[in-house]
Structure 1
Amino acid sequence: MVFDREAVLFGAATHDVGKTVHVAELSGPGSAHEEAGRALLLDHGFGPERARFAANHASWAESGVGLEDLLVSLADKIWKNKRVPELEDLVVARLAEASGRAAWEEFIALDELLTAIGDGADRRLAFQASFPIHG
């Protein structure tokens, strides 16, 4: 499968950078951090092709979303072991299209990988929660 690995790594690492502006969203719901993140990255010299991940990591269901964007969205979800079947189905379809394998084969391989990553979520989230945000 051909995709921009560096872009995915950048997006996975920076997609929530806007939460430094909207700190309440570090431990609570909200989407204000998305556009704030894009603006922060643009203001610090990153181009729109990289800054987009901060703004669109929750927009994976929209038509025309690229593979890199889907992978960043999937990384965002699996970090906290949140399985989103519709998102995973989109990724599986792209994998099957690229590999020529049956979708069920790609699903099994992806499911094993996501389960392995998701298994560490409780530990990661507990560590994150050990540094509470004080307003």
Structure 2
Amino acid sequence: MAELLAALAAPPRPAAHLRAVHDVALQPVDWLEHHRPDLGADREAVLFGAATHDIGKTVHVAELTGPGSRHEEAGRDLLLAHGFRPDLARFAETHASWTAPDTTLEDLLVSTADKVWKNKRVPELEDLLLARLAEASGRERREEYLVLDDLLGRIGDGADRRLAFQAAFPVSA
């Protein structure tokens, strides 16, 4: 990903953000591999999605500091144009739309990492993830909630450090 960002002459800020979200995504993926291996979450897909979800902001630079969703489709197109498979490039487009009927566990994990890296909790998103966990494990949602809430809370505790890391990089090249 570093090579692609360099080839795109990407500003330093999106690279810092993508790294932070990737590093956060490692935690729930590791947790799932150890505690819910039966879910079969695709580790590499989640980490790729976390590391590329905002790549379209290299095209729509104004969305680095302001709202907007044009970067989503642009990111998918950019990844496809650089030879990445559609099943991986999709994360650039799906990371903000987790309610679609074909949303995968991997999509939910990337979306969750993109929120919790800055300690933002989104109940609707977490409920969808909880439903997947409870369905796969056969446990009560409350049981899964307690575990997921603890995990996301611990991840959120490092938000100030991650935000400071990202802020240390300029928005423009």
Which bracket does the TM-score occupy, shorter chain normalised?
Answer: over 0.9
- 1:55 and 2:93 correspond: yes
Partner of 1:73, secondary structure, is helix
2:45 aligned with 1:7, yes or no? yes
Taking the aligned partners of 1:28 and 1:126, their CA distance within structure 2 comes to 18
- CA-based RMSD of the aligned residues comes to 1.3
**Which 5+ residue runs of structure 2 have no aligned equivalent?**
1-38
| Residues 1:95 and 1:134: Cα distance change in structure 2 (over 3 Å) | same
Q: 1:28, 1:66 → 2: CA distance?
A: 28
**TM-score normalised by the chain length of structure 2:** 0.74
Q: Secondary structure at the match of 1:75?
A: helix
Which one of 57, 68, 73 corresponds to residue 111 of structure 2?
73
- Percent of paired sites with the same residue: 73
- Looking at structure 1, the residues matched to 146 and 114 of structure 2 have their Cα atoms a distance apart, in angstroms, of 20
Q: 2:110 and 2:172 mapped to 1: Cα distance?
A: 28
The equivalent position to 1:122 in structure 2, one of 160, 164, 169, is 160
**Paired AA for residue 38 in structure 1:** R
Highest RCO, 1 vs 2 (Cα 8 Å, sep ≥ 6): 2
Is residue 42 of structure 2 the alignment partner of residue 28 of structure 1?
no
With 20-29 and 109-118 compared, the bigger mean Cα shift is at 20-29
The CA deviation string for residues 90-130 of structure 1, in whole angstroms up to 9 with x for no partner, is 10111011111110110110011101111111211122122
Q: Distance in 2 between matches of 1:134 and 1:74?
A: 27
Q: CA deviation at 1:72?
A: 0.8
